[in-house]
């Protein structure tokens, strides 16, 4: 590069047109995925106290929200159920009920004109009394027993209309087992979005409140979710998932793991997604409140950061807000 004054980098920053022309990365509605929490009932919009501006929605309201997302150019919603306590047990049996809340919601979405992608989470935690993602044997989640259940859960969700199944449980071998079962059942177009590098993070608290899986003492998932110290291992997880049949991979959380997103996005050929998790969203919100600064630019900057790291798309609780205020 020639030295100053031949190079003055401020020339490209002088006006909006010049800044836009030279923009290296962008954030568009099609880079956003909207997570939705669904509960029983009708016309319910129940605020989630630890996740600001987010609601547990009854199916009819969730459909409205998905249609709003669709009208804004968002291309997919990710559904999570808030299961009634009397339907939970230690095996998460309700996850396999073909008429459970998730299945009914998927059906209603399709019936009422939602044409964007429907992503269904595969994991047992919304359905278990202990809040773990799988079947406990002693104090630990048993990998192989859990994978058997997850395969069944995935098939139930796909039969109900899910376009994408997203295993978020971090068991070994689950992607391969689910892919094989989908192929055998003739579901050759079903996408698998693997939560490949999912960390045992302290940032999931508001989500656990939202789905009602929080326990009196915080749950420790570190025998299956990754240690925050790891990055090589994250790539290995993603590579294995791709070999086993994942179409897309994901890193979670997002904002605190930008290096992991970049590493995986550079080394894996399938699209890499990131999840701006509940605690990250709540942190941004708290900052905006405490410093009395507008939330949208803060949220926008955080999502641009995730895009710049290399994520193709981002799951964010702010998807609708940001799409409504899309800045070029």
Q: What is the binding site for ligand PBG (CB under 6 A)?
A: 121, 123, 125, 133, 168-169, 204, 207-208, 221, 277-278
Question: Look-up: residue for tokens 């070999």?
Answer: 243
Question: Look-up: residue for tokens 């809340």?
Answer: 101
Greatest CA separation found in the chain?
71
Instruction: Please report, to the nearest 10 degrees, the dihedral formed by the alpha carbons of residues 4, 6, 9, 12 taken in order.
Output: 160
- Other beta carbons within 10 Å of 1: 6
Q: Minimum distance from CB of 308 to ligand PBG (Å)?
A: 21
Tell me the three state secondary structure of residue 266: helix
What are the residues whose beta carbons fall under 8 Å from the beta carbon of 115, sequence distance 6 or more?
A: 70
Q: Minimum distance from CB of 248 to ligand PBG (Å)?
A: 16
Instruction: Please report, to the nearest 10 degrees, the dihedral formed by the alpha carbons of residues 91, 110, 278, 166 taken in order.
Output: 50
Rg (CA), the chain: 20
Half-sphere exposure for 183 (CA within 13 Å, toward CB):
9
Nearer to ligand PBG, 36 or 265 (CB): 36
Nearer to ligand PBG, 60 or 228 (CB): 228
Half-sphere exposure for 74 (CA within 13 Å, toward CB):
30
Using CA atoms, how far apart are residues 159 and 149, in angstroms rounded to an integer? 15
Q: Minimum distance from CB of 49 to ligand PBG (Å)?
A: 15
Q: Give the residue numbers marked as catalytic.
A: 198, 252
Q: Minimum distance from CB of 145 to ligand PBG (Å)?
A: 17
Q: Minimum distance from CB of 207 to ligand PBG (Å)?
A: 3
Q: Which two tokens stand for residue 150?
A: 């997850």
Question: Look-up: residue for tokens 């073909």?
Answer: 98
Half-sphere exposure for 37 (CA within 13 Å, toward CB):
25
Closest among 126, 115, 160 to 40, alpha carbons compared: 126
Q: Minimum distance from CB of 292 to ligand PBG (Å)?
A: 25
């Amino acid at each position: 590069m020639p030295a100053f004054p031949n190079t003055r980098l401020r020339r490209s920053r002088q006006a909006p047109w010049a800044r836009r022309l030279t923009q290296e990365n962008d954030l568009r509605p099609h880079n956003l995925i909207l997570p939705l929490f669904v509960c029983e009932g009708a016309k319910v919009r129940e605020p989630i106290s630890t996740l600001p501006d987010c609601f547990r929605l009854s199916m009819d309201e969730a459909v409205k929200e998905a249609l709003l997302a669709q009208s804004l150019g968002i291309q997919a919603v990710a559904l999570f159920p808030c299961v009634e306590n009397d339907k939970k047990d230690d095996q998460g049996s309700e996850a396999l009920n073909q008429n459970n809340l998730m299945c009914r919601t998927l059906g209603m979405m399709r019936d009422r004109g939602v044409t964007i992608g429907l992503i269904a989470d595969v994991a047992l935690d919304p359905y278990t009394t202990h809040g773990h993602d799988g079947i406990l044997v002693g104090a630990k989640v048993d990998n192989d027993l859990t994978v058997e259940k997850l395969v069944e859960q995935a098939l139930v969700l796909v039969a109900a209309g899910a376009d994408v199944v997203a295993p978020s449980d971090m068991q070994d071998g689950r992607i391969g087992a689910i892919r094989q079962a989908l192929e055998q059942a003739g579901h050759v177009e079903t996408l698998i979005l693997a939560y490949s590098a999912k960390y045992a993070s302290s940032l999931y608290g508001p989500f656990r409140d939202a789905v009602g899986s929080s326990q009196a003492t915080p749950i420790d998932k570190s025998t299956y979710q990754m240690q925050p110290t790891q990055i090589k291992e994250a790539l290995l997880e993603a590579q294995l998932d791709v070999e086993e049949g994942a179409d897309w991979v994901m890193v979670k959380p997002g904002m605190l793991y930008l290096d992991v997103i970049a590493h995986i996005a550079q080394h894996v050929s399938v699209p890499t997604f990131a999840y701006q998790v509940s605690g990250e969203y709540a942190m941004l919100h708290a900052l905006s409140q405490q410093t009395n600064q507008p939330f949208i630019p803060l949220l926008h900057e955080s999502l641009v950061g995730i895009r710049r790291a290399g994520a193709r798309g981002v799951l964010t609780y702010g998807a609708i807000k940001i799409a409504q205020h899309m800045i070029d």
